[in-house]
Amino acid sequence: MELDIFVEPYCLRCRKCCIETEMILLPSDIERIRSLGYEVERFAELRNGFYRLKNVDGRCVFLTDRGCRIYRYRPLGCRIYPLIFDEDLGPILDPECPLANVFSKRCLELEVGIRMLRRFLEELERFYGYRIDWDHFEEGARRLLRQCTAWGVATQRFSFT
Ligand code: SF4
Ligand code: SF4
C-alpha cells in the first residue's frame, strides 16, 4: 500500500465525498473489497457504464458515523480524491472539496497522487474501454505541479526576505 495522501482531520467531520458517492470501482478495488468478505452486490452497482460504490440512504454503503468502514482497503479513487481527471482540464483538484486549495500546495502528495491517478486511468482504459488523452493528462499534471512549486517558491521568498 502506498502512502496516504490528502488526509486532514477536517475530513472526519466533512465526509462530503462519501455522500451520494459516484466513485468508480476498478476490478482491483472490487477484488480487494471482496477479499474482506463483502458480496459484490452489497457494495457495487452498474451506473452510467461503470461499476460504482452503492449508496444507502444517500451515503456510501461503507460510511459509518466513525468514518470509512474499509478505510485501509478503500477504492483507489477514494485514496486519491480530491485529485480527479477532468476531460477538458486533465488532472485537477476537485473544487467541490473544501480543502482543494490546501492540498494544491502539497507538492509531494500531488506527485504521488498523479502517479496513482495514472494507474487508476490505465485500469479504467483496460477494463472499461474508456479512452484517455495521455498528452492532455501529462500537460495537466505538469500544470498542477508547476503551480504547486511556484507557490512554494513564493512562500520561501516571503519567509526569507
Ligand atoms: S470533500 Fe475534501 S475535505 Fe471533505 S472529506 Fe472529502 S477530501 Fe476531505
Ligand atoms: S469507500 Fe470509504 S472513503 Fe470511499 S466513499 Fe465510501 S466511505 Fe468514503
> Does pTM surpass 0.85?
yes
* Cα-to-chain-centroid distance, residue 71: 13
Index of the ligand 1 atom closest to the CA of residue 82: 7
- 58 shares a domain with 95: no
Using the 3D structure, point to which of 45, 65, 81 is the last residue of a domain.
81
Domain hosting 144: range is 84-152
- Ligand 2 proximity of 68 Cβ (cutoff 6 Å): yes
Q: What is the 3-state secondary structure (H, E, C) of 114-150?
A: HHHHHHHHHHHHHHHCCCCCHHHHHHHHHHHHHHHHH
Within-domain flag for 63 = yes
Give 45's DSSP letter. E
- 109 shares a domain with 47: no
pLDDT digits (tens), the chain, 161 positions: 567 999 999 999 999 999 999 999 999 999 999 999 999 999 999 999 999 999 999 999 999 999 999 999 999 999 999 999 999 999 999 999 999 999 999 999 999 999 999 999 999 999 998 999 999 999 999 999 999 988 766 555 544 43
CA of 84 to the centre of ligand 1 (A): 13
- 103 shares a domain with 42: no
- 96 shares a domain with 55: no
**How many other C-beta atoms lie within 10 A of the C-beta of residue 66?**
8
Within-domain flag for 53 = yes
Using the 3D structure, point to which of 38, 61, 81 is the last residue of a domain.
81
- Ligand 2 proximity of 44 Cβ (cutoff 6 Å): no
- 107 shares a domain with 59: no
Q: How many domains does the chain have?
A: 2
